[in-house]
Structure 1
Amino acid sequence: MPMAAEDIEAMIVAAIPDAKVEITDLAGDGDHYAARVVSETFRGMSRVNQQRAVYTALGGRMGGVLHALQLTTATPD
């Protein structure tokens, strides 16, 4: 069963409360998403660690109910 964009956003915000999250369904199938996550929490973290924080927030759903996620992370301007 596909994962809803709202569920992805909710999980990320639950783990990273100050995150601003934009989710785009790339294929219209609920399995292929792009996410842009902006958080002050990422300041001073490497890109790899920023993305790890997001994947950790998703609680192991990558590769399972969430097939593909094109992830962009950033700190606020």
Structure 2
Amino acid sequence: MAMQEEEIRAHILEALPDAVVEITDLAGDGDHYACRVVSKAFEGLNRVRQHQLVYEALGGKMGSTLHALALKTETP
């Protein structure tokens, strides 16, 4: 079963409550998303660590329930 946009958003906001999360369904299939996350939690972290925080927020669903996520992270 594919992961819905709101479920992705909820997981990210639970881990990063200040985040602004923008999600786009790239293929219209609920399986391939682009996600932009803006959070103060990313300040001072390199891009790899920023992405790891988002993947950790998804609780291991990346690669299983969530097939593909093009991720862009930023600080405010």
- Aligning the two structures, in what range does the TM-score lie when normalised by the shorter sequence? over 0.9
Q: TM-score, normalised by structure 2?
A: 0.99
Query: In the alignment, what sits opposite 2:54?
Result: 54
Q: CA shift at 1:52, angstroms? A: 0.2
CA distance in 1, matches of 2:41, 2:54: 11
CA distance in 1, matches of 2:2, 2:59: 15
Q: TM-score, normalised by structure 1?
A: 0.97
Give structure 1 regions of 4+ aligned residues with deviation exceeding 2 angstroms. Answer: none
Length, aligned pairs only: 76
- Structure 2 unaligned residues grouped into runs of 5+: none
Query: In the alignment, what sits opposite 2:29?
Result: 29
Q: What value does the CA root-mean-square deviation take over the aligned residues?
A: 0.4
Pairing of 1:1-77 with structure 2 (within 5 A):
1-76=1-76
Q: CA shift at 1:60, angstroms? A: 0.3
- Structure 1 unaligned residues grouped into runs of 5+: none
CA distance in 1, matches of 2:41, 2:3: 25
